[in-house]
Structure 1
């Protein structure tokens, strides 16, 4: 049923577990995956620790390198599992829109992504990329949450 999975990741430990779960699922169902990272551009006014302690150039270089390492690690895991895997790295202010657009572009029939499960004020202040994808996507979304 699901043969083409989009797996967005930010490289966090939970997102990495979701990538691992997506690879295992793809192996079981003979699906292929596309692993996507979306990094936000540098903002002068930010609460992101990486942006607060960096210049624009440093932040851009660090975020590109982190995304490349995240994608390379996912690619290696998929190859070891025998799962066809493509990767993509995009920079955008609207992360959830890029995820949905990429899923449509590649003809994904499932988006597999992590959720940190923030609730209350934390969810309101930080916002949830996963919640936005769930709200706006017409493609099914499988949300991975750590037990």
Structure 2
């Protein structure tokens, strides 16, 4: 059925539920997991009085994002490995996480995506949309949403 399942995670409790679901699915169908973290894009610097205020440099931000990704992906990977599942990890810094998720699925030749829904509802969902909704809209792969 599935051979390589992409699991976007951000280390939240809800995404941990998606990881657990993906581990169970991978055990059932004999698939491997590709665990993926889309780090937020570098924040735009603030300008005031002709001076640019940057909280950290781009280089330092990339190091921080890499450290965050490693921590989040290692925690998710331990769950898969404990269940005897082959796990690979990947991350990218992305302005649009949903695009990074779809690009990762293509790059790693995944045949399904298991991800969390952050449960945004009402006007907020209509105005802002959600990364999960955008993945559902644009993915050509099956997407399992865990709530």
TM-score band by shorter chain is: 0.7 to 0.9
Q: How far is the alpha carbon of 1:42 from its aligned partner?
A: 2.2
The one of 97, 106, 117 aligned to 2:99: 97
Structure number with the higher helix fraction is: 1
Where does residue 8 of structure 1 map in the other structure?
8
Find out whether 1:26 has 2:26 as its counterpart: yes
8 A Cα contact 1:42 1:56, kept in partner: no
Structure 2: any 5+ residue segments left out of the alignment?
Answer: 47-53
Q: How far is the alpha carbon of 1:8 from its aligned partner?
A: 0.6
* TM-score (normalizing by structure 1): 0.84
The one of 92, 96, 120 aligned to 1:118: 120
Q: Please identify the structure whose Cα radius of gyration is greater.
A: 2
Structure number with the higher strand fraction is: 2
8 A Cα contact 2:6 2:33, kept in partner: yes
Distance 1:45 1:16, change over 3 A: farther
Structure 1: any 5+ residue segments left out of the alignment?
Answer: 47-53
Where does residue 132 of structure 2 map in the other structure?
130
